[in-house]
Amino acid sequence: MSKWECPCGYIYDPDEGDAGNNISIGTSFEDLPEEWTCPKCGAEKEFFEEMDD
């Protein structure tokens, strides 16, 4: 699964999930709830860019 980067520099990694927002390890970026936002700056999913592997 791909990692996704927020403009603020936060990287969403499916292998880590987002425990602070009850996102389980193994949750792909595409499967995050639409209302999920960057835990660092609050940016919405649409602002994230997929990182090259």
Q: Kindly report the CATH number assigned to the domain that includes residue 42.
A: 2.20.28.10
Whole-angstrom Cα distance, residue 8 to residue 11? 9
Tokens of 22: 């009850």
Name the nearest CA neighbour of 49 among 14, 2, 4, 18: 4
Whole-angstrom Cα distance, residue 32 to residue 21? 10
Residue-wise pLDDT for 1-53, tens only, equals: 999 999 999 999 999 999 999 999 999 999 999 999 999 999 999 999 999 86
Identity of residue 8: C
What is the pTM assigned to this prediction? 0.93
What is the tally of structural domains in the chain? 1
Tokens of 18: 């987002």
Question: Binding site annotation covers 22?
Answer: no
Question: Binding site annotation covers 38?
Answer: yes
Decide: helix, strand or coil at residue 1: coil
Question: Binding site annotation covers 41?
Answer: yes
Q: Which domain holds residue 12?
A: 1-53
